[in-house]
Amino acid sequence: MSNLTSGSTATTVRQRFNAALSGGSFDRVLMMDLGYWPETLDNWYEQGLPRSVNALNSDDYFDLDGFMRYYVCPEKTDGTGPIDRGMVSPGGWRVGLQPFFDEYMISQDRDTELAQIPDGTHVRRSRHGTALPATEGYTLTDRDSWKQHYAWRLDPETPSRSPEKHAAFEKMTHDHNRSHPLILPGGSVYGWLRNWLGFEQISLLIYDDPAWLEEMLETVCDCIAGTLSRALAGGGKFDACLIWEDMAYNAGPMISPDAFKKLLSPQYKKITNVLRRGGVEHIIVDSDGRIDDLIPLWLEAGVNTILPIEIGTTGADPVALRKRFGRDLRMIGGFDKRILWQSRKAISDEIDRLTPLVMEGGFIPCCDHKVPPEVKLDDYRYFLDTARHRWSR
């Protein structure tokens, strides 16, 4: 997918991205992170970070190659993410709801506000802090509301799905010498519906009304696959596709492996088959939590890369995952962010522990989620400088 010739070494962001995941030769591993909590940047300003640095330009300041900034997906439907860092211009393809629901204020008090966000859910969010919004109401509650408010918004032929500056976008995808990767949006097989319905409702539907759940899953995934087919029809080259799920807690997945295989696997295959035919090499799923039981099912369905390999209380370990799944599984993440506030020796030791896996390939190491406010700016700089040096060839 990159413009490397046989025997050459990756030196651009795109080349490093593809070489690191595919096991090719690179000058150093691609350096990236998954962002920072707003409180982290606030603390760092007091520790000497220039106030001109923010979530959109932090990659440039810290000399990171980036990753999410090359995610060519203009939609942001859950009120919090997945995108908060800048995207490749000019726009991209929209694989989800089109049009979005109107955003509006429902009510507010001194500290919070209740609002409808673009996916139709009603969330209560802080007017002062940065806590994650809490969902308090759903537009999608039954078959009638599905047909009235959601199903028609998932037509893959909707004109607004195409990039607004289509000609410029197509030119970018046909530039085989571009220095940056292009990451297609893969939508969400499970996560979107869980957001729209609520976790309790979607869990009950698996048993109470599986036919309706299958209908919704099929509609969502036909929309994603159909839109991706349109995106790939012009012959442009994309380096990866990112599917967002967040479908596990620290104790295990939100859906049983048996239900996953019956309900979700056929839908994943629709998406991954389109991507394979279009020459997309890296198919990535983003899910927090303990995902060990889901990894074999993702691999079977055509996914080959996971992120962020959240350590936390799940005990995940990229070295152990490599031993279990081999090179079939590619990984992004896997550096325990909690180590960054322990000691510099702990940081150095973990960098050394992961170095053989980095050099083996199929692994791009970075913090296993956004950098938290407990981390000091100088320790974060030490981590980046040390990793950049030791993860070089």
353: its two tokens: 């522990």
φ, ψ of residue 112 to 5 degrees: the values are -135, 165
- 47 or 12: which carries more pLDDT confidence? 47
3-class secondary structure, 389: helix
Report the candidate in 58, 86, 59, 56 with the shortest Cα–Cα distance to residue 72: 86
Which of 118, 138, 158 is the endpoint of a domain? 138
Per-position b or e across 335-355, b if 16+ CB within 10 A of its CB: bbbebbbeeeeebbebbeebe
d(CA 222, CA 266): 11
Whether cis (ω within 30° of 0) applies to the bond prior to 82 is: yes
**Angle at CA of residue 29, ends 323 and 50, nearest 5°:** 125
Regarding whether 201 and 311 lie in a shared domain, the answer is: yes
The answer, yes or no, to whether residue 95 has pLDDT greater than 60, is yes
Q: Classify burial at 102, counting beta carbons within 10 Å of its beta carbon; exposed 0-12, middle 13-18, buried 19 or more.
A: exposed
Torsion of CA 100, 287, 191, 115, to 10 degrees: -50
**Angle at CA of residue 223, ends 140 and 254, nearest 5°:** 55
pLDDT of residue 82: 38
Query: What's the average model confidence in pLDDT over 243-258?
Result: 94
d(CA 334, CA 229): 32
* pLDDT, tens digit, 9 for 90 and up, residues 106-150: 999 988 999 999 999 999 988 876 667 899 999 999 999 999 999
Any domain includes 370: yes
Placement of tokens 């995808």 in the chain: 173
Residue 333 neighbours by CB under 8 Å, 6+ apart: 34, 307, 308, 309, 310, 318, 364, 365, 366, 367, 368, 369
8: its two tokens: 């050459």
Is the separation of the CB atoms in 92 and 70 below 8 Å? no
Is the separation of the CB atoms in 139 and 101 below 8 Å? yes
Report the candidate in 6, 5, 10, 32 with the shortest Cα–Cα distance to residue 20: 10
Q: Place 393 in a pLDDT band, splitting at 50, 70 and 90.
A: confident
* Lowest mean pLDDT, pick from 86-90, 122-126, 186-190: 86-90
The answer, yes or no, to whether residue 175 has pLDDT greater than 60, is yes
For the chain, state the CA radius of gyration.
Answer: 21
Regarding whether 53 and 193 lie in a shared domain, the answer is: yes
Q: Place 1 in a pLDDT band, splitting at 50, 70 and 90.
A: very low
158: its two tokens: 């909707």
Regarding whether 206 and 110 lie in a shared domain, the answer is: no
Domain that holds residue 325: 13-95+141-390
Q: How many domains does the chain have?
A: 2
Any domain includes 195: yes
pLDDT of residue 168: 87
Any domain includes 91: yes
The answer, yes or no, to whether residue 86 has pLDDT greater than 50, is no
Regarding whether 340 and 208 lie in a shared domain, the answer is: yes
φ, ψ of residue 13 to 5 degrees: the values are -60, -45
Query: What's the average model confidence in pLDDT over 86-91?
Result: 48
The answer, yes or no, to whether residue 281 has pLDDT greater than 50, is yes
Any domain includes 5: no
d(CA 94, CA 339): 37
* Lowest mean pLDDT, pick from 15-29, 63-77, 122-136, 331-345: 63-77
Regarding whether 339 and 220 lie in a shared domain, the answer is: yes
What is the length of the chain?
A: 393
pLDDT of residue 70: 65
pLDDT of residue 331: 97
Regarding whether 114 and 85 lie in a shared domain, the answer is: no
Regarding whether 130 and 45 lie in a shared domain, the answer is: no
Taking the CA atoms of 195, 87, 104 and 224 in sequence, report the sign of the dihedral they define: negative
Any domain includes 262: yes
Question: In sequence order, what DSSP letters do the residues of 69-111 get, joined into one string?
Answer: GGB------SSS-S--S---SS-----S-SSPPPPEEEEE-SS
pLDDT of residue 111: 87
117: its two tokens: 């966000």
Any domain includes 332: yes
Any domain includes 1: no
Regarding whether 112 and 24 lie in a shared domain, the answer is: no
pLDDT of residue 88: 46
Which of 138, 159, 193 is the endpoint of a domain? 138
Placement of tokens 């859906």 in the chain: 255
The answer, yes or no, to whether residue 224 has pLDDT greater than 60, is yes
Query: What's the average model confidence in pLDDT over 328-348?
Result: 96
Query: What's the average model confidence in pLDDT over 159-175?
Result: 90
Any domain includes 21: yes
Regarding whether 106 and 20 lie in a shared domain, the answer is: no
CATH number of the domain that residue 256 is part of: 3.20.20.210
d(CA 7, CA 5): 6
Regarding whether 169 and 299 lie in a shared domain, the answer is: yes
Regarding whether 204 and 217 lie in a shared domain, the answer is: yes
| Helices marked H in the chain | 13-22, 38-46, 58-61, 143-145, 166-173, 191-197, 199-208, 210-232, 257-259, 265-277, 295-300, 318-325, 344-360, 377-390
* Lowest mean pLDDT, pick from 106-110, 188-192, 218-222: 106-110
Regarding whether 379 and 340 lie in a shared domain, the answer is: yes
φ, ψ of residue 269 to 5 degrees: the values are -65, -35
Average pLDDT value over all residues in the chain: 90
